[in-house]
């Protein structure tokens, strides 16, 4: 089912227990020929490693805006310009709030704000965090910017309860990414 596709998808991975799902999302997108480049927040590194993300995406996984200089390249700008889609999966309440407020204090937020590519967000968090008025206000604000959301869905949460906040199904995320790019 693999086909050649020159589209570039930036995968933003944030500090959620659902970070491991990014591996399956990347594999699924690569199956359709998309090139994937991962940007991880520092919090994401508590759940998955840059080495794992690099191996699966077959590209360098970026974690830091200010790494050692090997070439002249303003990384968040070059990544932003290359992106045909930015997919943040999983997206925490923290990253949603930072984007809604225009806070650029890491490579992922800077890249999103520097890009003109469509943004697709797959939230994953505790149900109380998701339903909190501030999170809902931030989602509403991001939707007004044209950002798209997929999920979350009702399911088993990391805290042991069941509720809305479980990341959307991997196949649904892949399908929505393909639809956004078409």
Residues with Cβ within 8 Å of residue 112, at least 6 apart in sequence = 12, 80, 86, 88, 99, 119
Instruction: Determine whether 159 is an active site residue.
Output: yes
DSSP string, 3-50: -----EEEEEE-SSGGGGHHHHHHHHHHHTT-EEEEEE-TTGGGTS-H
Write the DSSP assignment of 50-107 as a string of letters.
Answer: HHHHHHHHTSPPB--TT---SSS--HHHHHHHH-SEEEEEEE-HHHHHHHHHT---SH
CA–CA gap between residue 75 and residue 110 (Å, rounded): 10
Tokens 């089912």 — which residue? 1
Both tokens of residue 138?
A: 């931030």
The two tokens of residue 63 are 């974690």
Which candidate in 23, 104, 110, 159 is catalytic?
159
The secondary structure of residue 175, as a DSSP letter, is H
Q: What residues act catalytically?
A: 159
């Amino acid at each position: 089912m693999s086909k050649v596709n020159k589209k570039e998808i930036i995968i933003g991975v944030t500090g959620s227990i659902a970070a491991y799902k990014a591996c399956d999302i990347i594999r699924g997108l690569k199956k359709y020929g998309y090139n994937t480049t991962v940007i991880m927040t520092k919090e994401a590194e508590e759940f998955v490693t840059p080495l794992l993300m690099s191996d699966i995406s077959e590209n360098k996984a970026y974690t830091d805006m200010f790494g050692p200089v090997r070439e002249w390249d303003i990384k968040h700008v070059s990544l932003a310009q290359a992106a045909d889609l930015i997919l943040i999966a999983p997206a925490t309440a923290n990253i949603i709030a930072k984007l809604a407020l225009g806070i650029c204090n890491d490579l992922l937020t800077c890249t999103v704000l520097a890009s003109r590519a469509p943004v697709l967000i797959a939230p994953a968090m505790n149900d109380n965090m998701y339903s909190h008025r501030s999170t809902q206000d931030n989602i509403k604000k991001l939707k007004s910017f044209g950002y798209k959301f997929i999920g979350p869905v009702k399911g088993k949460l990391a805290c042991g309860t069941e509720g809305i906040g479980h990341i959307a199904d991997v196949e649904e995320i892949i399908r929505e990414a393909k639809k956004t790019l078409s």
